[in-house]
């Protein structure tokens, strides 16, 4: 029997430090891909030259684009890929040797599956192991595999593209990644696959490692801006339906992104990024107005809480005192 055709898609942006490790992990797969598509996304660190020099035992295609970020890079590669399946890997991640074999076997056995994915391990900048099978730690309430729209809307899904395989025809039918998103493009993609009727399956063992460090895209401002675009997209796509008593925005989407905005406020607060604190506060106000009042909060307490957060410089000085003499509104307190 012939092996299923897999196209590996690897976008690169200033990834010369880690790229060879990522490619080596692809070459080491027990199920060899038919091709690898390397997309240089406007790198300036020598990644382009390295991409051109890399040798692989399977077909290699090199693509270039101006810096348009990972969604556009993946879509470009998918548009010319020839495989039945698309397997994504970021330039700073690595696969374990049986990654493709395990995920593709599930999809070959069930044509209803639009994508399959595994858990993932975390490593630091130098490749040192931080944690194993971390998906449940990142969001304990997320279900795996995905079977319920409300659960998918209520929190970050934590399906890492680097440990997923997607059926190419399903990917193309829903239009691929939303190129407005550079962060949350994965949640958006898998949500649209699910809504289009494609099932999915999950392997609770890790298929690879992702590298988390301050220079990674997870820490970029693009990620937070992308989150705002994604939130607006969800609210437009899933408005409240009073007749069916499905309050997607009020009960699910707005509370989710209120919590994210609050986390952002407190991420910037100790760094004294006051302008970004205020931007996060505006998002808190918007999502709070679309949600139920938090438990134990009156409209007056919400108003007072927002007034306190609106003066971050003064709040920095007042915070230790306020915590001692009066209970602050719980919904504005620093997240645990």
Residues 250 and 307 in one domain: yes
Contact 35, 81 (CB under 8 A): yes
What are the structure tokens assigned to 119, written together? 């858990």
Domain extent for 313: 239-332
* 270, 312: one domain: yes
Average confidence (pLDDT) over 48-56: 92
What tokens were used for 101?
A: 């074999």
**Segment 11-36, tens digit of pLDDT:** 999 989 999 999 999 999 999 999 99
Q: Distance between CA atoms of 118 and 204, rounded to whole angstroms?
A: 6
Q: Provide the H-helix boundaries in the chain.
A: 19-27, 47-53, 69-80, 99-109, 135-138, 149-154, 168-173, 185-195, 221-237, 254-268, 274-290, 299-309, 312-325
Average pLDDT over residues 100-121: 97
CA distances from residue 219 to 107, 183, 215, 227 in whole angstroms, order as listed: 33, 10, 7, 12
Domain boundary among 217, 247, 268: 217
CA 95 to chain CA centroid, nearest Å:
18
Residue found by looking up tokens 């997870």 in the block: 218
State whether 62 and 124 are in the same domain.
yes
Token pair for 4: 């299923």
77 and 208: one domain?
A: yes
Structure tokens at 330: 């719980």
The answer to whether 211 and 96 are in contact (CB under 8 A) is no
pLDDT of res. 98: 98
Residue 329 above 70 pLDDT?
A: no
Same domain, 67 and 156: yes
pTM score: 0.90
Q: Clarify whether residues 109 and 250 are in a common domain.
A: no
pLDDT digits (tens, 9 = 90+) for 219-264: 567 788 899 999 999 999 999 999 999 999 999 999 999 999 999 9
Place of tokens 């490790």: 21
Final residue before a domain boundary, out of 217, 251, 270: 217
**What's residue 224's pLDDT?**
83
Q: How far apart are CA 11 and CA 69, in angstroms?
A: 9
CB 196 within 8 A of CB 170: yes
Alpha-helical segments (H) within 196-248: 221-237
For residue 226, being part of any structural domain is answered with no
Cβ–Cβ < 8 Å for 130, 122: yes
Q: What is the pLDDT of residues 265-297, one digit of tens each?
A: 999 999 999 999 999 999 999 999 999 877 767
Shared domain for 64 and 213, answered yes or no, is: yes
Q: How far is CA 280 from each of CA 76, 224, 263, 309, rounded to the nearest angstrom? A: 33, 10, 9, 10
User: What are the pLDDT digits (tens) for 170-214?
Assistant: 999 999 999 999 889 999 999 999 999 999 999 999 999 999 877
Are residues 68 and 109 part of one domain? yes
pLDDT above 90 (res 215): no
Q: Is the pLDDT of residue 65 over 70?
A: yes
Give the pLDDT of residue 299: 86
| Mean of pLDDT values over 318-329 | 68
pLDDT interval class at 216 (50, 70, 90)? low
In a domain, 227, yes or no: no
Q: Percent of the chain at pLDDT above 70? A: 93
Residue 219: predicted pLDDT: 53
The residue behind tokens 């986390």 is: 263
CATH number at residue 124: 3.90.550.10
Bond prior to 145 in cis (omega within 30° of 0): yes
Q: What is the mean pLDDT of the chain?
A: 91
Distance in angstroms (rounded) separating the CA atoms of residues 202 and 209: 16
Structural domain total, the chain: 2
Residues 109, 22: one domain?
yes
Q: How many angstroms separate the CA atoms of 264 and 13, rounded?
A: 26
Q: Is residue 233 part of a domain?
A: no
pLDDT of 3 above 90? no
Q: How confident is the model over 66-77, as pLDDT tens digits? A: 888 899 999 999
Of the residues 154, 185, 217, the one at which a domain ends? 217
- At 273 the pLDDT is 94
Residue 306 or 118, more confident: 118
């Amino acid at each position: 029997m012939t092996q299923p055709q897999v196209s590996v898609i690897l976008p690169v942006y200033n990834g010369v430090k880690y790229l060879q490790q990522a490619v080596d992990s692809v070459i080491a797969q027990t199920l060899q891909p038919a091709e690898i598509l390397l997309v240089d996304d406007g790198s300036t660190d020598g990644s382009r030259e390295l991409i051109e020099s890399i040798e692989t035992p399977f077909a290699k295609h090199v693509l270039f684009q101006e810096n348009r970020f990972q969604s556009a890079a993946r879509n470009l590669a998918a548009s010319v890929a020839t495989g039945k399946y698309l397997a994504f890997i970021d330039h700073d991640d690595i696969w374990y040797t049986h990654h493709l074999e395990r995920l593709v076997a599930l999809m070959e056995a069930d044509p209803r599956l639009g994508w399959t994915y595994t858990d993932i391990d975390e490593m630091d900048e130098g490749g040192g192991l931080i944690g194993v099978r971390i998906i449940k730690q990142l969001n304990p309430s997320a279900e795996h595999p995905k079977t319920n729209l409300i659960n998918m809307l209520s929190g970050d899904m934590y399906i890492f593209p680097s440990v997923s395989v997607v059926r190419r025809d399903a990917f193309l039918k829903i239009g691929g990644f939303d190129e407005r998103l550079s962060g949350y493009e994965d949640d958006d993609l898998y949500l649209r696959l699910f809504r289009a009727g494609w099932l999915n399956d999950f392997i609770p063992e890790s298929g690879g490692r992702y590298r988390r460090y301050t220079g990674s895209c997870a820490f970029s401002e693009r990620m937070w801006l992308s989150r705002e675009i994604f939130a607006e997209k969800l609210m437009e796509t899933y408005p409240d339906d009073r007749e069916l008593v499905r309050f997607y925005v009020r009960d699910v989407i707005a509370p989710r992104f209120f919590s994210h905005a609050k986390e952002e406020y407190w991420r910037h607060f100790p760094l004294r990024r006051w302008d970004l604190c205020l931007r996060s506060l505006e998002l808190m106000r918007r999502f709070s107005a679309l949600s139920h009042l938090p438990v134990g909060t009156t409209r007056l307490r919400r108003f007072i809480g927002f007034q306190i957060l609106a003066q971050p410089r003064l709040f920095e000085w007042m915070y230790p005192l306020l915590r001692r003499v009066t209970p602050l509104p719980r919904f504005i307190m620093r997240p645990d």
